[in-house]
Structure 1
C-alpha cells in the first residue's frame, strides 16, 4: 500500500524525524485551546498538530470545522488529527468530513483497535487504513495496549496493558499505517508523581530499530512528563508528542479559581494566554521552535 508522501501530517513528522525534534500534538476540547496552541506555534515558528477525540463529532461538527479552518489559516504548518478513534463507524464518518478548501478535515486519524485481541486488531486496522488512505488521510495505530484513560478516551483500566514488542511492529506496519504509538510503560491519565513514571527505554530503542524509518513513532501518555523524559523519547525516535494536562493545567486552575469572579472576556483571554505560554515552553523543550 503506497505511503502518503504528500500528506501534510506525514511530511511534518518525517521532517521531525530527520531533524530529531518533537512536534507538539495538543489535545483540544474547546476553541480557546486551538487558538492558544496556534498562537504559540506562530510565535515560536513551530509546526503543530491539533488533536481532537471522537467526542468532538458528538459535541458539534462545527468544532471540527473550526479546527480545520484554523489549521489552514495559520502562518505555520498545522494539521488536525483524530486521536483514539475506537469505533469503525466514527472513523468512516470522520474520513468523509471536508475542510472549506475541499481537502479532508482530518489530516490523520488514529485507528485505535487496541481494545480488540491482536488478530482482530490487525484485521480491522488494515481495513480502516485502506479506507483512510483512499481519501488521502494518514493513519496511526497502537500495537500493544496503553493502559488507562482520559477525558474523551475509553478507559482500558479493566484490560491488561500489553507492552509493544519489536516482533509485532512488522505486523502493524504491514497494515499500511503511517504512525506507530507504542506501549513501553506509558499510560493514559495520571501517574500520580514523576517517581511513578517507569518507561522501558530499551524497548523503545528496539522498536525504533525495528521500525527503521518505515513509519514514524508517536508518544501517548505524557501527563507529568518533565522535559528530560521527553528528550529521551525523542532520542529514541519519537516525532509527535501528545500533550493534555501539560498544556491545560494552568488554564484549568485559573478557570476553576476565577469563574464568576472576573468578566467572561477576561476569563477567556487570560485562560488562552496561559495555555499559549505552556505550549510555547514545550515547543522550546522538545526542539520544534524555529522548525516551521
Structure 2
C-alpha cells in the first residue's frame, strides 16, 4: 500500500520505534495550544502529533484546518490525529472530508467481539483513503473532557489474545489497558502493570505501534520506563496543559493579548521539557 509511505503519523511513529524514543500526541483546544506546541517542536527539533477530540469538530470546526496548516508549514515532522472517535458516521465523514493523517477508531464501549469487528470495517474505510488507524484493546477506565459515554464503564485489561485479534483487524497502532486511566489518578498516582505492558509489546512483534493513553500525573521516570517497555506514542492532555491553565487562573486580570502571549510562552516551555523527557528532542 503506497499510501503508508506517505502517511505522516506512520512516518513519525516508525522513526520513533527505530530510535526508541517517545512522541508526544498532544490534545489541543485552541489555536494558542497549536502555536505553543509547534514552537516547542521547532525549538527542540522534535516530531509531534497534534490531536483533537471529536467534540472540537462541533465546537471549533476550523481548528483542524489551523492544525493542518501549522503541521504542513512546520520545519519538523508534525501530523494531525483525531482521538477517541466513537461515531461511525462521523469517522466516515472525517475520512472523506477533513485533513487528518490518522484516526483513533474507538469502539471500546462495545463488547470485545463487536469492538473488533466494527474497528476492522472502519479500518478498511480509513485505509482506502490513506488514513492510519489506532484502536483500543480492552477498555481503559475513566472519563476525559471531550470523550462521551465512557466514564461509567468498567475497565477491561488487555491480554495477548486481544492483541492478536486487533492485529488481524489490521490496525496500525494499539492502545492497551494496563492499569492506565482516562482522567486523574488520585492520591496514589499511576499504578501501571508494567509486566502486562511488556507482554503487550512483545505480542505486537513489530506489527503495530504501542500507544499509551491516560498519562495524567505521570512522572518523567515513569515515561522513560514506558518507553523502555516499548511505548512510542504518548497521548497527553493535562500533563502538558496544566501550566497553561495555572497561568490563566493566576493572571486573569491582565489584558487578553498579554495573557495569550504569556500563556503561549509558558506552554511552549512546558512542552519543550516533556520533549526532552521523551527523548524526541533533536530527532527531527
The TM-score range, normalised by the shorter chain, is over 0.9
Q: Give the superposition deviation at 1:2.
A: 8.6
- Which residue of structure 1 aligns with residue 190 of structure 2? 197
The answer to whether 1:265 aligns with 2:263 is no
Distance 1:2 1:171 in 2: 25
Task: Give the secondary-structure state (helix, strand or coil) at the position aligned to 1:238.
Answer: coil
- Which residue of structure 2 aligns with residue 144 of structure 1? 138
**Superposition pairs for residues 1-292 of structure 1, below 5 Å?**
4-98=4-98, 105-193=99-187, 195-259=188-252, 261-292=253-284
Task: Give the secondary-structure state (helix, strand or coil) at the position aligned to 2:40.
Answer: helix
Per-residue CA deviation, residues 120-155 of structure 1 (Å, 9 max, x unaligned), is: 111110110001000000000000000111110125
Cα pair 1:28 1:34 within 8 Å, conserved: yes
Return the TM-score normalized by structure 1: 0.95
Structure 2 unmatched runs, 5+: none
Q: Give the superposition deviation at 1:196.
A: 3.1
Task: Give the secondary-structure state (helix, strand or coil) at the position aligned to 2:70.
Answer: helix
- Which residue of structure 2 aligns with residue 102 of structure 1? none
Per-residue CA deviation, residues 36-76 of structure 1 (Å, 9 max, x unaligned), is: 00000000000000010001110132111111111101110
Structure 1 stretches (4+) deviating beyond 3 angstroms? none
Q: Give the superposition deviation at 1:168.
A: 1.3
Cα pair 1:143 1:180 within 8 Å, conserved: yes
Structure 1 unmatched runs, 5+: 99-104
Task: Give the secondary-structure state (helix, strand or coil) at the position aligned to 2:142.
Answer: coil
Decide which moves more: 71-80 or 146-155.
146-155
Distance 2:244 2:43 in 1: 19
Distance 2:133 2:79 in 1: 13
- Which residue of structure 2 aligns with residue 101 of structure 1? none
Count of aligned positions: 284
Per-residue CA deviation, residues 238-267 of structure 1 (Å, 9 max, x unaligned), is: 1111111111111101112222x1111110
Cα pair 1:145 1:161 within 8 Å, conserved: yes
Task: Give the secondary-structure state (helix, strand or coil) at the position aligned to 1:274.
Answer: helix
Distance 2:97 2:145 in 1: 23
